[in-house]
Amino acid sequence: MKIHEFQAKEILRQAGVAVPRSIVAKTPEEASAAYTELGGSIAVVKAQIHAGGRGKGTVKDNADQRGVQLVKSAEEAAAVAKGLLGKELVTIQTGPEGKVVNQVLVEEGCDIKRELYLGIVLDRAAKLPVLMMSSEGGTEIEEVAAHTPEKIFKEHFNPALGPQSFQIRKLCKKLDISGPAARSAEKFIKGLCKVYVETDCALAEINPLVITGDGGMIALDCKMTFDENAMFRHKDIAELRDLSEEEPAEVRAGNTGLSYVKLDGNIGCLVNGAGLAMSTMDIIKLHGGEPANFLDVGGGANVDQVTEAFSILLDDKNVKAVLVNIFGGIMRCTTIANALLEAYKKLDFNVPLVVRLEGTEVEQGRQLLADSGIDIIIADGLTDAAKKVVATVA
């Protein structure tokens, strides 16, 4: 689960981790008032969307309007906010369609002496969270990893204990951080790691992490994502979810108990089991097709869920054919066949449908489909299914 920058910074602020003063604005007038309230000579107006690269991002139809912009007056803050609010901001992470900016963050200026990168993720191989720091603040960490990996320094830490002081000193030495800045690093890093563990973060990223003129350390930006499976422990964080930033079909699927991720292809996939769904997408691509989605109906899907799954697939205007790939282990093939036929009757099914069934009661399930009188393409095996569905959209 993703949250906005201003929400992440509020979590850090409450935990005692240093962040700049800032105010959220949803209108140009609110942005102007926010600048005045902050009281400095400069401020930054930042688009709030669930995507990185906002500083280099531009508004559609207005390449001069950046997603993050320095302002020096209340009037300028209002003008920048007007140029962002309600507009589509295109960044390296949004794709060409961009994301609509519904709110901006007006943040006080900062005395920047140096910019660093700081991130925490789970290292699944080590089974520990890993703290990563780099001198390349303000640059996407993927670029640093690709071109100058030697500039990324890592320290794993025990989540129950947090990073130890000697580990932070090692990182400071490698990054040439000393004096007051090193003392600030101790408090900042330990505080951030504590937040990461206690809130069940999947990612906590500060980019850039700024060292100020007086040696303080402050989060100039903050990105946090959370383990959705742990949100029952964090009702306050779960309430920060912004559904307007998410793909509507994915939200709709989640409300029905389906696992769905929209992709860019034209072959819809309805599969039971995450591993089988991944294999299905792979074999479609192997035979020259492009999957339109990942959709796992799970092992116990009922008629309503299958109907909703088909409805979600058919509402995607890019979908030109649908492949149903079911392995009947927990779910019997007769159950999925009956659910499929019921769904077909309820929906306007205007694209080719290829079905591959295997497992418990497979012969009976195939016979139900064959006797239905519905125009369904039956496949014998996964390779045959992939070839047939790709052929329908060729």
Please indicate if the annotation marks 269 as binding a ligand: no
Report the candidate in 297, 249, 263, 262 with the shortest Cα–Cα distance to residue 277. 297
Burial 191-211 (b: 16+ CB within 10 A, else e): bbbbbbbebbbbebbbbbbbb
Q: Determine the straight-line distance between the first and last CA of the chain, rounded to whole angstroms.
A: 37
Question: What are the residue numbers of the active site?
Answer: 117, 205
Helix (H, G, I), strand (E, B) or coil at 327: strand
> Residues with Cβ < 8 Å from 11, sequence gap 6 or more?
195, 199, 224, 237
Give the phi and the psi of residue 180 in degrees, each rounded to 5: -55, -35
Please indicate if the annotation marks 54 as binding a ligand: yes
H or E segment and range at residue 203: strand 201-212
The partner residues of 104 in beta bridges, in order of sequence, read: 25, 47
Please indicate if the annotation marks 228 as binding a ligand: no
Please indicate if the annotation marks 254 as binding a ligand: no
Q: Side chain identity at 132, as an amino acid letter?
A: M
Cα 206 from chain centre? 16
For residue 62 the two structure tokens come to 């207005």
Cα–Cα distance between 140 and 286 in angstroms, integer? Answer: 31
Please indicate if the annotation marks 281 as binding a ligand: no
Please indicate if the annotation marks 265 as binding a ligand: no
Please indicate if the annotation marks 213 as binding a ligand: no
Please indicate if the annotation marks 331 as binding a ligand: yes
Q: What is the 3-state secondary structure (H, E, C) of 105-151?
A: EEEECCCEEEEEEEEEEEECCCCEEEEEEECCCCCCHHHHHHHCHHH
Rounded to a whole number of angstroms, the CA Rg of the chain reads: 25
Cα–Cα distance between 122 and 128 in angstroms, integer? Answer: 6
DSSP 8-state secondary structure symbol assigned to residue 245: G
Please indicate if the annotation marks 72 as binding a ligand: no
Please indicate if the annotation marks 193 as binding a ligand: no
Please indicate if the annotation marks 207 as binding a ligand: yes
Q: Side chain identity at 166, as an amino acid letter?
A: F
Cα–Cα distance between 2 and 275 in angstroms, integer? Answer: 24
Please indicate if the annotation marks 99 as binding a ligand: no
For residue 355 the two structure tokens come to 């079905």
Please indicate if the annotation marks 124 as binding a ligand: no
DSSP 8-state secondary structure symbol assigned to residue 301: -
H or E segment and range at residue 344: helix 333-346
Question: Residues marked as binding for substrate?
Answer: 272, 329-331
Question: Residues marked as binding for Mg(2+)?
Answer: 207, 221
Question: Residues marked as binding?
Answer: 46, 53-55, 107, 110, 115, 207, 221, 272, 329-331
Question: Residues marked as binding for ATP?
Answer: 46, 53-55, 107, 110, 115
